[in-house]
Structure formats: C-alpha cells, structure tokens
Amino acid sequence: MDVATIQKRIFSGSLVGFLRIGLAIPVYLALTPLILNVLGEERFGLWSFSTTIIGLINLADFGLKNSLVYHVANQRHDEQAIIGHFSVTVIAYLFICTFISLFVVLFNKEIILTLLHLPPYLYAEAQFLLIVTVLAFSIRMIAIPYQAVLEGYQELSLSQLVFTLWILTYSVAVAVALALQPDIYGLGIASLISNFVILGGFFGLARRRFQFLRLDYAHLRSELYVSIQRVKTS
C-alpha cells in the first residue's frame, strides 16, 4: 500500500472520528441528566458503576487487539497468515469472555453483597445489571478481532463508522427505554441491544471487505499441538 493511500485512509478515518466525537458529546450531555432524573441518585450510581466494570474488564484484552493489528499490517499480502492470526485471536477472546462470564454468574452474589456492600433491596437490580454488563462487554470483545483486521488494513474510517452507528443506536435505544420502561432493567436491555450493532457492524464490514477471512480450525489444532509439545519439553 503506497503512502498516499495510507494518508488518505488516515485522513478519512480522522474525519469520521471527529463526527463520532461530535455526536457523542451532545448525546451524553442530554442523556445523563435524563437518566439521573428517572432513576434517582441511588440507582443512577448503580447504573454508572457498570461503566467502571467495563473499564476493569478492558484489562482482560492483554494486548491481543494491538498484536493482531500489527501482524495484519505487516503481513497484509499473506492471507493465510492473517487467517491464522485471526483464528487464534478469536479463540483467545472467546476463552476470556467465557471465563469472565462464568465467574460473574457464579459469584455475582458475593460481588454485590460483600465487595460493593449494596443494600438488599438493590440486589436484584444490581445482579441483573452486572450480568447484562458482562454480556454486553463480551459481545464487544468478540467483535474486536474483526475490528483489528479492518484497522490492520488501515480501514480506520470503517472502524469509526461502526462506533458512530453504535452511538446513534444507543441513544435511540435508551430514549425508548426511558419512555417505555424507565428503570435499570429497561436501560440494561437497551445497552445490550446497542452492543450488537458493534458486533454486527465489524463482522459484516470485515467479511464483506475481506472475503477470505475465516476461522482456520486446522491452524488452531496445529498451534495447540505445538503448545502442548513445548509444555512437555519444558
């Protein structure tokens, strides 16, 4: 890929990124006081805690996305190599999502009552919000390998476009929830639904832009065999 093409793609990605930021600021400025007024201070604090959970789970990325972006950018002419890196990354994210989801499902009571010290009357809402938040983030995490492939090919504008569509979907979904079911449950469902836009957007764009992209189970078995042999010889 020549320098002029890369510069053009970076420029278009920046433009869409500015559009995303321009939409996000008024959306959050408008929705935050509405949600606070509907939920009240106590439940708004509980709702805000979900963003903290996502921030903590972000640490579970372990640099996998940046690694995949790097390998795709450096081996963009080797489709089989990209398929191999992509397959390993997808399985790694699925493993991480499964582990975190099972941990939260099994120990959500301990997290809510012991760690957060929430009053009993908020337990059901906190349990629902905790599980929905982890599921929503798992949906995002599964989308990351497709996002990384797009960004490895410098398709930054497409990546920013997906998040722009997510902001629009999220704002509409939250507005509908506030109108029809103005509580933690309605907002949680709205958040979960909007995250499917991220998964569907990255999956659809990556598969359409790079039709060769797929999971290579043979490569995964080979990598697993090599890993087992390394463990045995170490």
Q: Give the model's confidence band at 85: pLDDT under 50 very low, under 70 low, under 90 confident, else very high.
A: confident
- Residue count of the chain: 234
The lowest-confidence range among 3-7, 10-14, 68-72 is 3-7
What residues make up the domain containing 128? 3-233
Say if residue 203's pLDDT is above 90.
yes
- How many domains does the chain divide into? 1
Whole-angstrom distance, CA of residue 147 vs CA of residue 198: 9
| Reported confidence tier of residue 47, pLDDT bands at 50, 70, 90 | confident
pLDDT digits (tens, 9 = 90+) for 141-170: 899 999 999 988 888 888 888 988 988 999
Please, what is the angle between helix 156-180 and helix 184-209, to 10°? 160
- Model confidence at 43, pLDDT cuts 50, 70, 90, reads confident
Calculate the CA 154 to chain-centre distance. Answer: 19
pTM: 0.84
- Predicted pLDDT at 6: 59
